[in-house]
Chains A and B, each alone.
Chain A
Amino acid sequence: MATKLKEVDVVIVGLGWTGGILAKELAEAGMKVVALERGAARSSENDYSLPNIRDELRYVVRHDLMQNTARDTLTVRNNPTQEALPMRRLGSFLPGEVVGGSGVHWSGHTWRWTDMEFKVRSMYEERYGKKFIPDDMTIQDWGITYAELEPYYEKFEYTAAVSGKAGNINGKIQPGGNPFEAPRAKDYALPPLTPILASEMFSNAARNAGYNPFPRPSANASQAYTNPDGTKFGACQYCGYCQRFGCEANAKGSPHLTVIPLAMKSPNFELRANSWVTKVLKDSDGKKVTGVTYTNVLNGEEFEQPANIVLLCAYAINNVHLMLLSGIGQAYDPASGNGVVGKNYCYQTGASATLFFEGKHFNPFMNAGGSNATIDDFNINWGFDRGPHNFVGAYNVGGGFNTNLPIGYRPVPSGTPQWGKAWKQATAKWYQTAMVINASGSVMANRNNYFDLDPTYRNAFGQPLMRMTFDYKANEHKMGTHAAQVINDIAKSMNPTRINQATARTEPWTVVPYQSTHNTGGTIMGTKPSDSVVNKYLQSWNCHNLFVVGANVFPHNSSYNPTGPVGALAYWTADAIKNKYVKNPGPLVQA
């Protein structure tokens, strides 16, 4: 029997970027806030310090900061007719499990998603006609605009020490920046990171091909920095241990460095680590939520934490799981198309080429999390005509390195033996002399890509695992073909000694190897309850005192990393709660 605790104003499930932002904003606004984090509390001083943080085996291979699949995982399959089986260890994506969440181990790439995503269906229909969008592609407008989010993007970028070069300030194109970006009011918080040889060579080749390369915006402080909240950042050391590691230089914009310590300073805030939330509780008529139940994973003790407002701020996938376990809203059914919880799970796709240059020294161990140059000519450039290529969506292309450590990164030309003297010789010869050009591509929502509860497998708490049904569709294959061609053309123009060419991905999605921790959808946002779980303020249509925050609200996935809009939407939601909801609790958008 769960011990019932004293009611608080707000309970937050998960303390990463979104939970940290909301904890700080709401505690500072005078609300009593409790955050429940499934992982342990770790700190830069004790845990992300030299020399032990520099351990590829522990952090990259053995997933020390990630979700423990022995306790909870997903079942996976490629289509609704297949039997789903458990993802028995992590691979394709890596949700964080620690105070700070995935914000501890991300690389820092921070993008502004534009109206090309938020108005995806209306823009494509207007330009190409309704028939251009396949029947099973369940994309929809998000119900929010870039203009509404712009100040919140800025707030997140300045909090997280994003280094970059503006391409468009108030409509004026800035040389050296991304000419396709939507207008921003201010430049980035910090100047761009120092380019490395691979990003310079890519930029030159892309420019020669007529494209518009620019330095990737990233939350790696290019110089010492104090953010608007007073958080002090060290300068990035280009250490090469960024993705999957905590930053020992305090140079990576992370919640455990920024918003969480500020929340902790408030007497209104309490963090309970090692707390696994099992359910969101509803009142008798199901119109409001009353709190959550959770288990102290150190001793198995169960608690009920009543709250006036519940904020789901766990990893995107885990938020969806909690909604399904709690029975809030109607579960999605792909056969009928009815229901919304679990709908529109999306992922990302890509293509990449490895270029080998005899005699060059790329020093692939020397880089920041965002030491890449990027082109958006086939991405948020609406001038790129998708019509002849017949796909919806976009991809960006980048050249450079981030986090290439030797267990995982030892490029050799195709056909090289995998062991023996010839393998060693090739490994020694090419490690320093290779660079990669890769594309990251969007995935449009599809009727048959979704989450529901698994009928067979259970987690350590006796609850059904969530089932993920996902595969790439013809739209992604067509885009991948286009991207591979663009990559290979740029690569060939650089005259490498050897190339492992890019090819379009055609095989099914697999749970191994690692691909991207950019999982989106499942509790999508929209303009009406019939096609979405939350409104534009990420407020549940069913229970007005429940907000579901994270990439789980994205109705489809773009080519960009998701953390920019995830952070911006968290600030946007915090403002909506503080300035609108608390004054007049109820639906912020009338259904």
Chain B
Amino acid sequence: MTKPESPRHESVCRDSLCKDPSHTESATPEFDRRNFLKGAVVGGAAAVSGTALTPESAQAQQPAAASAPQPAGYEFLNLDEAAFIEALVDHMVPADDLTPKGTDVGINIYIDRALAGGWGKGDRLYMQGPWKKGAPSQGYQLPLTPAQLYRAGIEATNVHCRKTYGKTFDRLDEAQREEVLVGLQSAKINFDSGLPVRVFWGALYQTVIEGMFSDPIYGGNRNKAGWQLIGFPGVIAVHRDHVEQYRGKPFPNKPVSISDMS
């Protein structure tokens, strides 16, 4: 795990709490709360609830809380699956000067928590048969929850890897991993188990993206690395004045997450 970057508390300080006299609201355009209040005051209730400060929320602004370590360990993934996912996300999101590597961004943790939670268990998924293959235009038709799909897909991919390279995906070298991912993406790999490779790849890819770009409360996008990569400001986004002020100009890249504001 990479060293957590210094907490960006300048981007979340509130005037009554801010200890740093150099931090004024007018200097932090990404959190221009005063102007937000001006604009929304007529709206009343929503603006009030958005600014209610409680001792708990003040606590959360302390640097110690903001840099608390991510919980380690897996809820859903078994040892083989964890090794697969860690290798996958580090290959898809390698470390460079733009971001830390996938496991240091927490994408593996995001995927584990998503699979362990309601979504992984099939919340909102219509799960009544009969089960038919259908046309691609009819969408997802497998009798599997996302967690079951992942489990079957990782196993099938490792069966392919053992057959082709004599070892599981996590033990492959970089070129072999690339070959496997291209095979999954292009559906040139066929799973012996009958699991449709395109469906597995689609779910896998989507969750890697979610782990990179969803709010850090879900375990990925650690230190807002995904948002910083592209300059997405996160949850604050009170842009009534910025819309003219920054039209055509770069906006400060200091993203704010839900926990920063909670």
Is A69 at the interface (CB under 8 A from chain B)?
Answer: yes
Using Cβ atoms and an 8 Å threshold, which residues of chain B touch A431? 230-232
Q: Is the CB of A238 within 8 A of B124?
A: no
Identify which of residues 37-59 in chain B touch chain A, using a CB-to-CB cut-off of 8 Å: 39-51
Using Cβ atoms and an 8 Å threshold, which residues of chain A touch B218? 57
Identify which of residues 235-258 in chain B touch chain A, using a CB-to-CB cut-off of 8 Å: 235-240, 242-244, 246-251, 257-258
Q: What's the nearest-Cβ distance from chain B to residue A78, in Å?
A: 6
Is B94 at the interface (CB under 8 A from chain A)?
Answer: yes
A360 to B210, CA, bound (A): 27
A498 to B151, CA, bound (A): 40
Considering only CB atoms, which chain A residue lies closest to B246 in the complex? Answer: A363
A90 to B126, CA, bound (A): 10
Q: Is the CB of B124 within 8 A of A63?
A: yes
A70 to B145, CA, bound (A): 12
Q: Is the CB of B261 within 8 A of A361?
A: no
Is A414 at the interface (CB under 8 A from chain B)?
Answer: no
Q: Which of A55, A77, A251, A406 is in CB contact (< 8 Å) with B227? A: A406
Q: Which of A194, A235, A425 is in CB contact (< 8 Å) with B244? A: A194
Using Cβ atoms and an 8 Å threshold, which residues of chain A touch B227? 406
Using Cβ atoms and an 8 Å threshold, which residues of chain B touch A77? 135, 138
Q: Is the CB of A57 within 8 A of B46?
A: no
Q: What's the nearest-Cβ distance from chain A to residue B32, in Å?
A: 10
Q: Is the CB of A406 within 8 A of B47?
A: no
Considering only CB atoms, which chain B residue lies closest to A430 in the complex? Answer: B230
Q: Is the CB of A237 within 8 A of B36?
A: yes
Considering only CB atoms, which chain A residue lies closest to B94 in the complex? Answer: A421
Is B130 at the interface (CB under 8 A from chain A)?
Answer: yes
Q: What's the nearest-Cβ distance from chain B to residue A297, in Å?
A: 14
Q: Is the CB of B242 within 8 A of A366?
A: yes
Is A581 at the interface (CB under 8 A from chain B)?
Answer: no
A366 to B128, CA, bound (A): 42
Using Cβ atoms and an 8 Å threshold, which residues of chain B touch A137? none
Using Cβ atoms and an 8 Å threshold, which residues of chain A touch B40? 234-235, 237, 248-251
Q: Is the CB of A432 within 8 A of B230?
A: yes
Q: Is the CB of B139 within 8 A of A88?
A: yes
A345 to B130, CA, bound (A): 26
Using Cβ atoms and an 8 Å threshold, which residues of chain B touch A497? none
Using Cβ atoms and an 8 Å threshold, which residues of chain B touch A49? 46, 49-50
Q: Is the CB of B237 within 8 A of A239?
A: yes
A interface SS class: loop
Is B196 at the interface (CB under 8 A from chain A)?
Answer: no
Using Cβ atoms and an 8 Å threshold, which residues of chain A touch B124? 62-63, 68-70, 89-90
Most buried by A among B42, B91, B93, B130: B42
Using Cβ atoms and an 8 Å threshold, which residues of chain A touch B261? 50-51
Using Cβ atoms and an 8 Å threshold, which residues of chain A touch B236? 51, 54
Is B215 at the interface (CB under 8 A from chain A)?
Answer: yes
Considering only CB atoms, which chain A residue lies closest to B50 in the complex? Answer: A50
Is A415 at the interface (CB under 8 A from chain B)?
Answer: no
Considering only CB atoms, which chain B residue lies closest to A56 in the complex? Answer: B214
A163 to B41, CA, bound (A): 19
Is A197 at the interface (CB under 8 A from chain B)?
Answer: yes
Q: Which of B43, B49, B249 is in CB contact (< 8 Å) with A233? A: B43
Considering only CB atoms, which chain B residue lies closest to A46 in the complex? Answer: B49
Q: Is the CB of A234 within 8 A of B138?
A: no
Using Cβ atoms and an 8 Å threshold, which residues of chain A touch B91? 419-420
Q: What's the nearest-Cβ distance from chain A to residue B92, in Å?
A: 4
Is A82 at the interface (CB under 8 A from chain B)?
Answer: yes
Is A45 at the interface (CB under 8 A from chain B)?
Answer: yes
Is B119 at the interface (CB under 8 A from chain A)?
Answer: yes
Q: Is the CB of B45 within 8 A of A250?
A: yes
Identify which of residues 79-93 in chain A touch chain B, using a CB-to-CB cut-off of 8 Å: 82-91
Contacts A248-B46, A361-B251 given; indicate if A55 touches B141 (C-beta within 8 A). no
Q: Is the CB of B137 within 8 A of A44?
A: no
Stretch at the interface among A23-31, A264-272, A506-514: A506-514
Q: Which of B43, B238, B250 is in CB contact (< 8 Å) with A239? A: B238
Is A196 at the interface (CB under 8 A from chain B)?
Answer: yes
A68 to B124, CA, bound (A): 5
Q: Interface size of A by Cβ–Cβ distance < 8 Å? A: 86
Q: Is the CB of A82 within 8 A of B92?
A: no
A508 to B39, CA, bound (A): 45
Is A427 at the interface (CB under 8 A from chain B)?
Answer: yes
Is B21 at the interface (CB under 8 A from chain A)?
Answer: no
Contacts A54-B258, A88-B140 given; indicate if A427 touches B126 (C-beta within 8 A). no
Most buried by B among A43, A44, A225, A234: A234
Q: Is the CB of A407 within 8 A of B248?
A: no
Q: Which of B92, B119, B135, B243 is in CB contact (< 8 Å) with A366? A: B243
Q: Is the CB of B126 within 8 A of A406?
A: no
Q: Is the CB of A85 within 8 A of B237?
A: no
Q: Is the CB of B98 within 8 A of A89?
A: no
Is B205 at the interface (CB under 8 A from chain A)?
Answer: yes
Contacts A54-B235, A88-B139, A248-B46 given; indicate if A237 touches B39 (C-beta within 8 A). yes
Q: Is the CB of A512 within 8 A of B139?
A: yes
Q: Which of A68, A234, A407, A410 is in CB contact (< 8 Å) with B210? A: A407
A360 to B250, CA, bound (A): 9
Q: What's the nearest-Cβ distance from chain A to residue B12, in Å?
A: 10
Is A76 at the interface (CB under 8 A from chain B)?
Answer: yes
Q: Which of A196, A410, A507 is in CB contact (< 8 Å) with B247? A: A196
Is B192 at the interface (CB under 8 A from chain A)?
Answer: no
A360 to B230, CA, bound (A): 14
Is B125 at the interface (CB under 8 A from chain A)?
Answer: yes
Considering only CB atoms, which chain A residue lies closest to B202 in the complex? Answer: A512
Q: Is the CB of A432 within 8 A of B231?
A: yes
20 additional contacts, CB 8 Å, given A361-B249, A405-B232, A458-B128?
A: A49-B46, A49-B49, A82-B135, A87-B139, A89-B125, A224-B41, A234-B40, A241-B237, A248-B40, A250-B47, A251-B40, A361-B246, A361-B248, A362-B248, A363-B246, A363-B247, A407-B213, A424-B93, A432-B230, A510-B138
9 contacts between A and B (CB under 8 A): A45-B45, A76-B138, A76-B139, A87-B126, A88-B140, A197-B248, A234-B41, A250-B40, A421-B98
List residues of chain A with CB under 8 Å of any chain B CB.
43-46, 48-52, 54-57, 61-63, 68-70, 73, 76-78, 82-91, 194, 196-197, 200, 224-226, 232-241, 247-251, 360-363, 365-367, 405-407, 410, 418-421, 423-425, 427-428, 431-432, 456-458, 507-512
User: 8 closest Cβ contacts across the A-B interface?
Assistant: A234-B43, A250-B43, A54-B235, A50-B50, A51-B261, A419-B92, A234-B40, A431-B230
